[in-house]
């Protein structure tokens, strides 16, 4: 049964079961192996704060050892995804910080992207309305993105006097939509429309707002019912092979696949095929 966990206690740094996680700075919903993170400050288009950065990073780090969360959905409340860093709670204080403090903050924001990329669960973004700044980077850090036709995604760092190089944008965005298109968005800070995002490969599909979250959770549930150890291996290899030659990648995949061939899910798939049945995967 799906339920929202009331916010009260911070998460332990290491854990196994995650279904009962109690969020403090966003909403957490769990059901059928899928954890849903909802950024929930809708009155301000769900901006991030220092606290929410820390908690999101901690949660995604913790998901690396989760035994029950098999896939993750990230979305926003009130018809918007995320407007980026809160102007009053983050941007203002940053103008008064020393260089070491600023570097600690920018490393924190990058750590969130790394934690999303390094957790073994597939992460699916359900993106509607405003998706800007750090919010656009959270969307970019997802493994797949479903959007609504009204979604407007802006890497608007240059509009506040900063470089487009933020939280890994100059590495991740060109790989997803191409160097020229990424350059345009990172230099100008203009919003990418949903139709552009679909045509350029940023979005995997577009859905009407009323069904967007349901579609994202259905996709996540489908992945959660699959061979989740193998899914984690796929995500790991997608991440690591960016820095490999073709020869290195082929060898790495040979080793990765040999490991997966030792799992019970591989045996279950064979036995189900032989019996002309659908395999029931358990993630081991």
pLDDT band at 230 (very low <50, low <70, confident <90, very high): very high
Reported as a single tens digit per residue, the pLDDT across 173-207 is 999 999 999 999 999 999 999 999 999 999 999 99
- Confidence at residue 7, expressed as pLDDT on a 0 to 100 scale: 33
Q: Is the pLDDT of residue 256 over 60?
A: yes
Q: 146, 206 in Cβ contact below 8 A?
A: yes
Q: Is the pLDDT of residue 2 over 70?
A: no
List of E strands, 138-282: 144-147, 152-154, 191-193, 205-206
What token pair was written down for 138? 């959270």
Q: Is the pLDDT of residue 225 over 80?
A: yes
Write the DSSP string, 58-117: HHHHHGGG-SS--EEEEEESTT--B--B-IIIIIHHHTT--HHHHHHHHHHHHHHHHHHH
CB-side exposure of 21: number of CA atoms within 13 Å? 33
Instruction: Give CA torsion, residues 179, 156, 240, 256, to 10 deg.
Output: -100
Task: Tell me what percent of the residues of the chain surpass a pLDDT of 70.
Answer: 94
Q: Is the pLDDT of residue 6 over 80?
A: no
pTM: 0.91
Average of per-residue pLDDT values in the chain: 92
Q: Is the pLDDT of residue 247 over 50?
A: yes
Q: Give CA–CA dist 109/272, Å, rounded.
A: 44
Fold of 3-224: 2-enoyl-CoA Hydratase; Chain A, domain 1 (3.90.226)
- Confidence at residue 16, expressed as pLDDT on a 0 to 100 scale: 66
Q: Give CA–CA dist 190/132, Å, rounded.
A: 10
- Confidence at residue 14, expressed as pLDDT on a 0 to 100 scale: 47
């Amino acid at each position: 049964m799906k339920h929202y966990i009331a916010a009260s206690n911070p998460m332990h740094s290491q854990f196994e079961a995650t279904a009962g996680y109690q969020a403090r700075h966003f909403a957490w919903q769990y059901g059928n192996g899928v954890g849903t993170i909802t950024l929930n400050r809708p009155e301000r288009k769900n901006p991030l704060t220092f606290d929410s950065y820390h908690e999101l990073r901690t949660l995604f780090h913790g998901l690396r050892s989760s035994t029950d969360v098999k896939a993750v959905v990230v979305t926003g409340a009130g018809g918007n995804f995320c407007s980026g860093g809160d102007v009053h709670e983050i941007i203002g204080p940053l103008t008064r910080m020393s260089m070491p403090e600023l570097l600690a903050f920018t490393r924190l924001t990058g750590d969130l992207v790394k934690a999303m990329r390094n957790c073994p669960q597939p992460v699916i973004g359900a993106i509607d309305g405003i998706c800007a700044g750090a919010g656009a980077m959270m969307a970019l850090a997802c493994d797949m993105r479903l959007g609504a036709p009204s979604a407007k995604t802006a890497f608007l760092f240059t509009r506040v006097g900063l470089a487009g190089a933020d939280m890994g944008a100059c590495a991740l965005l060109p790989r997803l939509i191409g160097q020229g298109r990424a350059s345009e968005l990172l230099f100008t800070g203009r919003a990418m429309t949903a139709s552009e995002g679909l045509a350029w490969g940023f979005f995997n599909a577009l859905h009407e707002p009323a069904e967007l979250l349901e579609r994202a959770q259905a996709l996540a549930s489908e992945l959660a019912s699959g061979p989740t150890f193998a899914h984690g291996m796929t995500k790991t290899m997608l991440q690591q092979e960016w820095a490999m030659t073709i020869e290195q990648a082929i060898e790495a995949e040979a080793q990765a696949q040999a490991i997966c061939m030792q799992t019970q899910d591989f045996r279950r798939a064979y036995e189900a095929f032989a019996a002309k049945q659908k395999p029931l995967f358990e993630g081991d």
